Amino acid sequence: MTGKGGLDTLKGNVTERVGSMDRKQAILTALGQSQPDLVLKNAKIIDVLGGGVYEGDVAIRDGFIAGIGSYDAPQEVDLQGRYLAPGFINAHCHVESTMVLPEVYCREELRWGVTTVITDPHEIANVAGEDGIRFMLEASKGLPVNYYIQAPSCVPATPFEHAGAVLTAEKLEGFLHTPRVLGLGEMMNYPGVAGCDPEVLDKLERFSGTVIDGHAPGISGNGLQAYAAAGILTDHESICYAEALEKLRAGIAVLVREGSASKNLKDILTGVLRDRICTQNMAFCTDDKHLADVRREGTIRYNIKLAVELGMDPVEAVRMATINAARIYRLERLGAVAVGYRADLAVLDDLEGFTVHAVYKDGKPVDLDAPGLIPQKPVPDSRIFSSVNPARLDMDAFLLPQREVYPVIRLLPWQIVTQKGAVQASELAEALTSGKLRKIAVIERHHATGQIGVGLIEGYGLRHGAIGTTVAHDSHNMIVVGDNDADMLAAANELVRVQGGYTAVQDGTVLGTLPLPVAGLMSDQPAESFLASFQKVEAAARKMEVCKGIDPFTTLSFIALPVTPEIRLTDKGMFDVTTFSFL
pLDDT tens track for 524-565: 999 999 999 999 999 999 999 999 889 899 889 999 988 888
434-464 tens-digit pLDDT: 999 999 999 999 999 999 999 999 999 999 9
Report whether 412 contacts 418 (CB < 8 A).
Answer: yes
102 and 149 in contact (C-beta within 8 Å)? no
pLDDT on residue 378: 65
Domain for residue 66, yes or no?
A: no
The predicted pLDDT at position 500 comes to 97
**Which are the contacts of 179, defined by CB distance < 8 A and separation ≥ 6?**
none
Answer with the one of 301, 332, 363 that is the final residue of a domain. 332
pLDDT for 10 beyond 70: no
User: In the structure, what pLDDT confidence band is assigned to residue 20 with cuts at 50, 70 and 90?
Assistant: low
Q: Are residues 112 and 256 in the same domain?
A: yes
17 in a structural domain: no
Could you give the angle at which helices 122-139 and 102-111 cross, rounded to 10 degrees?
80
Give the whole-angstrom CA distance, residue 400 versus residue 414: 28
Q: What was the pLDDT predicted at 330?
A: 98
What is the model's pLDDT at position 260? 83
pLDDT in tens, 112-140: 999 999 999 999 999 999 999 999 999 99
Domain boundary (289, 317, 332) is at: 332
Is the separation of the CB atoms in 427 and 458 below 8 Å?
Answer: no
Half-sphere exposure for 118 (CA within 13 Å, toward CB)? 32
CA–centroid distance for 552 within its chain: 18
Which range has the worst mean pLDDT, 20-24, 221-225, 462-466? Answer: 20-24
How does the average pLDDT of the chain come out, rounded? 93
> Where among 332, 365, 396 does a domain terminate?
332
Identify the burial level of 176 via C-beta atoms within 10 angstroms of its C-beta, where 0-12 means exposed, 13-18 middle and 19 or more buried: middle
Q: Are residues 482 and 541 in the same domain?
A: yes
Q: Do 109 and 219 belong to one domain?
A: yes
Report the distance separating Cα 362 and Cα 372, nearest Å: 17
Q: What is the dihedral of CA 217, 222, 223, 229, to 10 degrees?
A: 110
What does the chain come to in residues? Answer: 583
In a shared domain, residues 387 and 328: no
**121 and 212 housed in the same domain:** yes
Beta bridge partners of 359: 346
List, in sequence order, every residue forming a beta bridge with 407; answer none if it has no partner: 422
CATH number for position 155? 3.20.20.140
**Residue 160, CB half-sphere, CA atoms under 13 Å: how many?**
28
- Is the pLDDT at 581 greater than 50? The verdict is yes
In terms of residue numbers, what domain contains 261?
A: 87-332
In a domain, 198, yes or no: yes
Residue 361 belongs to some domain of the structure: no
Res. 312: pLDDT tops 50: yes
| pLDDT band, residue 345 (cuts 50/70/90) | very high
Residue 339 inside a domain? The answer is no
Beta bridge partners of 452: 443
Cβ atoms 103, 375 nearer than 8 A: yes
**Which is more confident, 369 or 276?**
276
Q: Dump pLDDT digits (tens) for 78-104.
A: 999 999 999 999 999 999 999 999 999
Residue 441, number of CB atoms within 10 A of its CB: 28
Task: Give the integer Cα–Cα distance in Å for 15 and 8.
Answer: 9
Which residues lie across from 56 on neighbouring strands? 43
Check whether residue 466 and residue 531 sit in a common domain. yes
Does residue 79 sit within a domain?
Answer: no
How much is the pLDDT for 15?
34
Same domain? For 181 and 282 the reply is yes
Rounded Cα distance, 266 and 73, in Å: 44
Residue from 457, 470, 569 nearest 160 by CA: 569
The pLDDT of residue 461 is 94
Binned at pLDDT 50, 70 and 90, residue 3 comes out as very low
For the stretch 481-494, pLDDT in tens is: 999 999 999 999 99
Number of domains in the chain: 2
Q: Is the pLDDT of residue 6 over 70?
A: no
Asked if residue 2 has pLDDT above 50, the reply is: no
Q: Which of 267, 250, 166, 156 is nearest to 563 (CA)?
A: 156
Nearest to 63 by CA among 136, 115, 121: 115
**pLDDT confidence band for 19 (50 / 70 / 90):** low
Percentages of the chain per state (helix, strand, coil), in multiples of 5: 30, 30, 45
Residue 568 lies in a domain: yes
Statement to judge: residues 476 and 577 lie in one domain: yes
Please determine, for residue 17, whether its predicted confidence score (pLDDT) is greater than 80.
no
HSE (side-chain half, CA atoms, 13 Å) at 337:
31
Distance of CA 77 to the CA centre of its chain: 34
